[in-house]
Structure 1
Amino acid sequence: MKKLRLYVRLLRLLAVISLGTLLAAGITLLERLTRHDLMPTRQRLTRWFLARLTAALPFRLTVEGELPRQPMLWVSNHVSWTDIPLLGMLTPLSFLSKAEVRSWPVAGWLALKAGTLFIRRGSADSALLNQQLGTHLQQGRNLLIFPEGTTTDGLGLRTFHGRLLSSAIDCGVAVQPVAIRYLRNGQPCSVAPFIGDDDMLSHLLRLLSFDLAEVHIQLLRPIASAELNRNALARAAQQAIRDALFGAAEAEQPADIHGQAA
């Protein structure tokens, strides 16, 4: 029975990914024929696709809070690659992801077509990165980043990197903190985190083999970026997310957890 469930889920997921590939290919062809950047259309289709992808994953989703009405820089804690479809289905978003994702079969190409910006770990060119992020924000697009720079097991937060939030200050847009939590039987889920030596295929198969996990997403109060420097803004966003996940009494020291960015 467990194997049958896995096969059914895999077939459903493959059907969704195939549909996404066709949509991305069609948009790419249309852009070449019209010689126009169809980013708004790509983002709307990406949101539609990510909603179907999320429905194919073994999650039961709860969302609290209000979606922002103005373009903002979204910042979230980072537990797994599944954070991206779960958050991306809420509203049209662009993402900032590690460069290695670009080389993932199918998923990397789909991420590129969805408008994802890729960053190399340890890259010292902060000015260029902030220019790219600022371009997205100035064009009225929501942008999602994971300022921890890596995934964790969901039991704590790592330090938020302030340099990734400079674009919000430069563009005068607010920051939308988001807290995402995976639970199983009321306890932190040990299956959903994508950390350590995990690879995409083995993690996916493990995830699909288990019963449904609960996912709670909290859209917290936006933080105005005016009159804050990037480090103060990062600390404010980190504290808001920490309080939402663990309560205000949680110690402020970053968790010493080894993960990987997605």
Structure 2
Amino acid sequence: MKKLRLSWRLLRLVAVLGLGALLAGGVSLLERLARHEPMATRQRLTRWFLARLAGVLPFRLRVEGELPRAPMLWVSNHVSWTDIPLLGMLAPLSFLSKAEVRDWPLAGWLAHKAGTLFIRRGSGDSGLLGQQLGAHLRRGRHLLIFPEGTTTDGQSVRTFHGRLLSSAIDSGVALQPVAIRYRRDGQVCPVAPFIGDDDMLSHLLRLLQSEVAEVQIQLLPPIASHGLNRNELARRAQAAVSHALLGEQDAQGAVAPASAAA
């Protein structure tokens, strides 16, 4: 049964990736022919493609909250590479990703053609990158970053780093905090997290062999950036996401379940 399920899902995945390659090739051609920046087209096509990709993955999705109407800087906790198709199907988004993703076979090329911005850790180019992010936001485009800087097992929220949140302050846009969680049999899903020394292929095969898991995405109330510095903004966003996922800690440090937890 598992082998049959895996084979069927792999066939669907290959078909979707092939479609994505055709779309990315079309974007490349558009870039050569068009006299205007095709980013808006990239975002719309990327959203459509990521919805197809998310449909192949063994997840049942539930979304809570309202999608922002005005352009915002989305900030989310980070559990897996699967966060990207699940969040990217909700709105026309661009992403900020670690530079290593650019070298992934096919997926890296698709991410590049989708308008993903890449950052290399320790490269010292955060000032230039911040300017690029700010320009992106000022053009009225949504952008999503993972301010933890790495993935977790879904049972905690790491510190949100504020250095890239300056782009929201400089552009005068609000933050859209997002909390994403993966559940299986009422508990934190052990299959979804992409952490440690995991490699993409092994993780993908484990995921496609597994039963369907529940994914909950909470679009939390936006946080205005006006009057705040980047560290204050980061702390407020982290607190909002932590509360949504983990609840409030009591005086002894135990974590009480949040009302939205299931």
TM range (shorter): over 0.9
Q: Deviations over 1:57-107 (max 9, x none)?
A: 000000000000100000000000000000000000000000000000110
Contact 1:79/1:194 (8 A) holds in 2: yes
Report sequence identity in percent.
77
Letter in 2 for 1:62: R
Contact 1:243/1:250 (8 A) holds in 2: no
TM alignment of 1:60-75, pairs within 5 A: 60-75=60-75
Q: Deviations over 1:3-62 (max 9, x none)?
A: 010000000011001001101101211221234321111110100000000000000000
Letter in 2 for 1:123: S
Q: How big is the shift at 1:250?
A: 6.9
For 1:247 and 1:100, the matched residues in 2 are separated by: 33
For 2:17 and 2:46, the matched residues in 1 are separated by: 12
Q: Which runs of 5+ in 1 are unaligned?
A: 254-262
Give the match's secondary structure for 1:222: coil
TM-score of the superposed pair, with normalisation by structure 2: 0.94
What's 1:228 paired with? 228
Give the match's secondary structure for 1:163: coil
Q: Which runs of 5+ in 2 are unaligned?
A: 254-262
Q: How big is the shift at 1:127?
A: 1.1
Contact 1:13/1:56 (8 A) holds in 2: yes
Compute the RMSD of aligned alpha carbons: 1.2
Letter in 2 for 1:163: R
Give the match's secondary structure for 1:121: coil
What's 1:104 paired with? 104
Q: How big is the shift at 1:126?
A: 2.0
What's 2:163 paired with? 163
What's 2:115 paired with? 115
Q: Deviations over 1:124-168 (max 9, x none)?
A: 222111101101101100000000000000010111101011100
Letter in 1 for 2:118: F
Letter in 2 for 1:205: L
Letter in 1 for 2:199: D
What's 1:86 paired with? 86
Going from structure 1 to structure 2, the CA distance change for 1:57 and 1:137 (only over 3 Å counts) comes to same
31-40 or 84-93, larger mean C-alpha shift: 31-40
